[in-house]
Amino acid sequence: LVDVEKNSLFASSFRGAHSRLTRTITQQRIRALVSAHQDRDMKKRDFCHLWITRINAIIRGVGVSYSYSRLIRNLYNKQLLLNHKILAQIIISNRNCLYMISNEIRK
């Protein structure tokens, strides 16, 4: 592929003039790559937010005035190493297991 063709191939799925006009193709290509670069880091943050929200939602159903923050504090005190990703995954797949963990930690 010639470089020009490579360029337009990159933007071939863009909308309107962004896939047809060469100057705008280069501009949009730059913006797309930059966004991809930034969003690769944002992806990690987004997932962490998601896991925290999920854990919080489930934990609040366990008991009165029990929340995500208390769970995490107990986790640290009891020296558990499970991270948020795993906790969220356990929640959706095996809710029982999470209740066991939280009960164990609360003692």
Binding residue (CB under 8 A) for another protein from 30, 42, 57, 92 = 30
- The number of beta carbons lying within 10 Å of the beta carbon of residue 24 is 15
45 CB-contact burial (10 Å; exposed 0-12 / middle 13-18 / buried 19+):
exposed
Binding residue (CB under 8 A) for another protein from 1, 2, 36, 64 = 36
Q: Is 86 in the site for another protein (CB under 8 A)?
A: yes
Q: Is 95 in the site for another protein (CB under 8 A)?
A: no
Dihedral sign for Cα atoms in the order 45, 51, 56, 57: positive
Q: Is 9 in the site for another protein (CB under 8 A)?
A: no
Q: What's the rounded Cα separation, in Å, for the pair 85 and 88?
A: 5
For the bound state, the minimum distance from the C-beta of residue 52 to another protein, rounded and expressed in Å, comes to 16
Q: Is 80 in the site for another protein (CB under 8 A)?
A: yes
Helices marked H in the chain? 3-10, 22-59, 68-77, 84-93, 95-106
For the bound state, the minimum distance from the C-beta of residue 82 to another protein, rounded and expressed in Å, comes to 6
- The residues binding another protein (CB under 8 A) are 30, 33-34, 36-37, 40, 47, 78-83, 85-86, 89-90, 94, 96-97, 100-101, 103-104
